[in-house]
Amino acid sequence: MTWFESFVLGLVQGLTEFLPISSSAHLRLTAAFAGWHDPGAAFTAITQIGTEAAVIIYFRKDIARIIATWARSLVNRELRHDHDAQMGWLVIVGSLPIGVLGLTLKDAIEGPFRDLRLIATTLIVMGVVLGIADRLAARDETGGRHRAAKQRKELADLTVKDGLLYGVCQAMALIPGVSRSGATISGGLLMGYTRESAARYSFLLAIPAVLASGVFELKDAGDGHTAWGPTIFATVIAFVVGYAVIAWFMKFISNKSFMPFVVYRILLGIALFALVAAGVLAPDAGETAG
């Protein structure tokens, strides 16, 4: 991997990690279109450490409060009913599905799951799911001619059951094209949570899973085309760009629809199917390029 490739891929990672369009799919597609090697699951996982560092800094006050209250609740029973202490446990519970499935499906994640036809399918299917979830949320928020607006749930209403369902949605993002934020936000909206609550928990839930995955993959950083220097450079780029995207996205979702992302996902999936069918791209494009 060259320094230019690492710069571009780091930029793509930072731009797409927090948007519901799948960063892993865009890293894979960028390499395929450019004729580069597929950066691989290890590169993706490590560069995600940069974007998760951006999450930690952006939500540092919330994270510090949750960790401190959760830790104190281990010895102080009175704090166990505190929302922050409960959030600590809910993040742990919600992280279990992706941890179990990530280890179980490791070979598939690094192989068959990176087929461009599967990525095109997940882009379209999850785009439709996000569109449905977005419409349901909009209907509740605005009501209608014969229906009053409906109050949606906040993070204070989060239960263990909902936390596990969020976790299952996050685990679906092990397949490139699904999108971690897209799956968890869609799941949250379908469970009746507000857009901001769904996004906030999605970002908090990703921290342990992504950091654990990145650390686990560090051992592969020096193998093949995933070299230390370019990988670290891409991770730094992803951090800087990712922080700016978080700040923009949290403002965007407060009063905007997800439909632009829905349309983009579906059009990209259709275009990808067309390119593979026309022979312009092979299903495994990039795996042997470079």
**163, two tokens:** 């936390």
- What mean pLDDT do residues 240-256 have? 91
Asked if 14 and 24 touch (Cβ cutoff 8 Å), the reply is no
How many angstroms separate the CA atoms of 137 and 253, rounded? 12
**49, two tokens:** 């450490």
Predicted pLDDT at 57: 95
pTM of this prediction? 0.86
How many angstroms separate the CA atoms of 138 and 132, rounded? 10
Per-residue DSSP letter, 282: -
Asked if 13 and 234 touch (Cβ cutoff 8 Å), the reply is yes
Per-residue DSSP letter, 38: P
Strand partners, 147: 144
Is the model's pLDDT at 34 over the cut of 60? yes
- Give the number of other Cβ atoms within 10 Å of residue 104's Cβ: 11
Strand partners, 284: none
**93, two tokens:** 């519970």
Residues 6+ positions from 232 with CB-CB distance below 8 Å:
none
| pLDDT per position as a tens digit, 148-169 | 778 899 999 999 999 999 999 9
Predicted pLDDT at 228: 79
Is the model's pLDDT at 42 over the cut of 80? no
How many angstroms separate the CA atoms of 22 and 204, rounded? 17
**53, two tokens:** 């560092």
- Average pLDDT over the chain, rounded to an integer: 87
How many angstroms separate the CA atoms of 38 and 59, rounded? 32
- What mean pLDDT do residues 34-62 have? 86
